[in-house]
Amino acid sequence: MHQQIPHESAALHVTGEALYIDDLPSSPSLLIGRVVYSPYAHARIVSYDLTKAREAPGVVAVLSAKDIPGHNQMGPVVKDEPCLAAEGVTFIGQAVFLIAARTDAQCRAAEKLIDVKYVPLEAILTLEEAIAANNLLGPPRRMQRGDVEVALGSAPHVLKGELRTGAAEHWYLETQAALCVPGEGPEMTVYSSSQNPSETQKLVAEVLGVKKKDVVVEVRRIGGGFGGKETQGNHVACWSALLCRATGCPVKIRLFRDEDMIMTGKRHRFLTRYEVGFDDQGKLLGVKFELNSDAGAATDLSFAIMERAMFHCDNAYYVPAIDVTARVWRTNLPSNTAFRGFGGPQAMAAMETVIDRVARYLHKDAAEIRQANFYGLEQDNVTHYGQVVENNRLHTIFDQLMKSSEYAARRKAVQEFNAANEFWKKGLALTPVKFGISFTTSHLNQAGALVNIYSDGTVLVNHGGTEMGQGLHTKIQQIAATELGISIDRVRVNATNTSKVPNTSPTAASTGTDMNGMAVKHAVETLKDRIAECVAALFNERDPSAVHTAKGDCCFESDVIFDSRHPERRIGFAEAIPQVIVRRVSLSATGFYRTPGIGWDKTKGVGTPFRYYAFGMAVSEVLVDTLTGAMTLLRTDILHDAGDSINPGIDTGQIEGGYIQGLGWCTTEEIKWDSAGNLMTHSPDTYKIPTAKDIPIDFRVTLLEQATNPNAIYGSKTVAEPPFMLGLSTWMAIKDAISAVANHTVEPEYALPATNEVILLSIEKLRNMMKVNASEPVHA
């Protein structure tokens, strides 16, 4: 435990043996499935004729909504998402028809023979249009504490503004994929790249009109998920299943990259309006947030995502009076969905903007303002929804990181550099993250496991979580091996399978290890109890004259089971197992876990939605070319709280990866749609995720020491989502560099992502304002 051991599949990955859906050995009867999608953002389907397509060479089936045997519905929460469009389409990329043929080329040829007539309708493609048309997806929500109007009215200083944060594409390396294999009668096995196999099972059963007992969903591994396969992996599975049922053959659908980008949802765009009141020291007195998100065409998880945004608009700061109003808007774009951080990043970007503006206004270092407003240890430690911020590590992390990153000296150096250079400007920023861990939909906080021990002393662990690169299965393997006191190579973690562990929650909300790890631990404890009883009896039978071994005396360590009081009484683990079988004792056990201590009253907006908080901070330094807007990331220091990390190598990598993903969202990843609703950035040649050359030149990532977390397995703390939000340190450092152009006297225009274009335009505007107001400093 707490060891750096390689990812459980790493040896298979480096040799190319690890299998993803598209790599599974195919049967001669395998058909390739293709999705025909809507070319209109909003249109009525007037008529279509599939006759010619159905007769095309190699084609086995062409399906429309009329051919769905069960429910034409895929909405995970609200039933507002058809599996195949029936009367009309509501976004470009919406599935309308399905084709199965021997080859992909035959599918594409058949697609051209589909004759469909649409009548285009007016489409809503921006948040502004949705707001103007009052196209709300559901009622607004509000969370508040104190009287924000009074706070703003009496505050010495008040600032207000708005911030736009962009959408983002998950860009999992493995595109959405599913392979469905028919069984006897209604049976079907679905190999899916889904973060939520139980929901995939449910929706496949519903579209087929069969029962869940008839459908098995298996997930060996996912080539990256990041939330993009929490609900939207279901679609490909349902489409494959329909074609499989219609043809009686195995059917595989793997979306091509561009189609994946066109058809699937993104991170929600936000438009946030804020108003802040503060005192001369920069202490926040009251903040008002108005959050607006672009849900796209259907509900998906938009309300849960907005709820998490509402929970995280405070980020790490205590605000005595706060008022958050949230509105989720419907547009004619693909339904936006979960993406690492789940609304948290959008809300935190707004709060960090508030802090940054307060600092600029007061001519203070933003890090100082951040520190002044952190949640306190003993007081000012209750969030706006009433949860106490326990085990608060903000102050410890801040103190350590300010020192280790040499923040003060580098601030001085940056100032000197900027004074000496007209066209190059440097920027430096520290940003924190405080992130609540648990599903805010409380009932999802449960997990199950099934552990089998075989007669040769090897162990097969099943649990409800999916492996998508985050190292969940490795940590589970470590947990099972540690509990049984056996070497790790005796333990194998099975593919996630709905027939082994039923009714599971998605692997999401950063809860994978916390919950499934505990479920596995519980299953193993049951087995250990049974084994100990047999082994104690065995010891006593072998040597009846000696002292009595009770089952509680049995220790499991180093592949041996022994009596802790009489260590000479011992038996090898593998040797003991057949003895248990001879005694007719079951070596298969389930485990279950429900996260304790959480509860939350949605209507009152008060409670304890989170089991604990994760904390981290980053300091980033950038260099900006003010003539082109080009940005170089010079150095990033991260200090992150992973508790007593179960696997420091994996956790460090996840922190680095999360930060770099956040960096992408903050800088280069720009999603653009044209005026008809076509995604213009539908390929890696136009949509730029960070490459190895975009990471900090000097990249220093450290785990916080002495950080035992009392609220998760083995004192560990999840890593998962929180580091994503550390990317905001880069975004703020860039703004600091831009701001230096006007010597920090003017509030720069800013947006997220800060593309080179955004940077350059902001600098140009500052320069023009400087010319106009050459004599007087201005506060925007």
Partner 1 sequence: MMKSIVITTTINKRKHELEVHPNTTLLDLLRDELGLTGTKRGCEAGECGACTILMNGQAVNSCLVLAPQIDGQEILTIEGLADGDKLHPLQESFLDHDAVHCGFCTPGMLMSAKSLLDRNASPTELEVRTAISGNLCRCTGYQQIVDAVLETEPVKRET
Given the residues 174, 199, 721, 747, the one annotated as active site: 721
Task: Give the residue from 598, 593, 557, 560 showing the smallest Cα distance to 576.
Answer: 560
Q: Specify whether the CB–CB gap between 284 and 373 falls below 8 A.
A: yes
CA angle 622–624–626, rounded 5-degree value: 165
Which residue's CB is nearer to partner 1, number 223 or number 320? Answer: 223
Based on the shown chain and the rule CB under 8 A, indicate whether residue 2 belongs to the binding site for partner 1.
Answer: no
Q: Which of 55, 140, 256, 680 binds partner 1 (CB under 8 A)?
A: 256
Please, are residues 469 and 224 in contact by the beta-carbon 8 Å criterion?
yes
Residue with smaller CB distance to partner 1, 6 or 146: 6
Does residue 638 contact residue 701 with C-beta atoms inside 8 Å?
A: yes
Six-digit token string for 103: 């080859």
- Told to check if 229 binds partner 1 by CB under 8 A, we report no
Q: What angle do CA 388, 391, 392 make, to 5 degrees?
A: 80
Whether residue 298 contacts residue 332, with contact meaning beta carbons closer than 8 Å, is answered with no
- Closer to partner 1 by Cβ: residue 644 or 656: 656
Residues 6+ apart with CB under 8 A from 213: none
Binding window for partner 1 (CB under 8 A); candidates: 122-130, 237-245, 407-415, 646-654? 646-654
Q: Which of 62, 216, 468, 631 binds partner 1 (CB under 8 A)?
A: 468
Neighbours of 108 (CB within 10 A): 14
Tell me how far, at minimum, the Cβ of 23 lies from partner 1, in Å. Answer: 4
Helix (H, G, I), strand (E, B) or coil at 95: strand
What are 613's strand-pairing partners?
436
From the list 345, 304, 285, 12, the residue with the least C-alpha distance to 157 is: 285
Scanning 59-67, 127-135, 216-224, 532-540 for contacts with partner 1 by CB under 8 A, the matching segment is: 216-224
Interface with partner 1 includes 19 (CB under 8 A)?
A: yes
Residue of the chain from 34, 245, 254, 528 that contacts partner 1 (CB under 8 A): 254
**230 or 563: whose CB is closer to partner 1?**
230
153 touching partner 1, by CB under 8 A: no
Q: Is 612 in the site for partner 1 (CB under 8 A)?
A: no
Least Å from the CB of residue 334 to partner 1: 19
d(CA 307, CA 444): 15
d(CA 666, CA 345): 10
Which residues lie across from 698 on neighbouring strands? 635
Structure tokens at 363: 């001519």
- Report the alpha-carbon distance of residue 88 to residue 76 in Å, rounded: 20
560 contributes a contact to partner 1 by CB under 8 A: no
Q: State the minimum distance, in angstroms, from the CB of residue 339 to partner 1.
A: 12
- Vertex 691 angle, CA 687 and 696, to 5°: 125
The minimum distance between CB 531 and partner 1, in angstroms, equals: 32
The single residue among 70, 343, 448, 471 that binds partner 1, judged by CB under 8 A, is: 471
Does residue 469 touch partner 1 according to CB under 8 A?
A: yes
Stretches 7-15, 275-283, 298-306, 569-577: which one binds partner 1 (CB under 8 A)? Answer: 7-15
- 656 in catalytic set: no
Any contact of residue 654 with partner 1 (CB under 8 A)?
Answer: yes
Q: Compare residues 277 and 512 and give the one whose CB is closer to partner 1.
A: 512
Distance CA 350, CA 486 (A): 49
Minimum distance from residue 193 beta carbon to partner 1 (Å): 10
Q: Which stretch binds partner 1 (CB under 8 A): 129-137, 467-475, 593-601, 772-780?
A: 467-475
Least distance CB 638 / partner 1 (angstroms): 10
Cβ at position 634, least distance to partner 1 in Å: 14
Return d(Cα 225, Cα 245) in angstroms, integer: 27
The number of C-alpha atoms within 13 Å of 131 and in the hemisphere containing its C-beta is 13
The residues annotated as belonging to the active site are 721
- Binding residues (CB under 8 A) for partner 1: these are 4, 6-7, 9-20, 22-23, 170-174, 221-224, 226, 254, 256-258, 468-471, 649-650, 652-661, 683-685, 689-693, 695, 699, 701
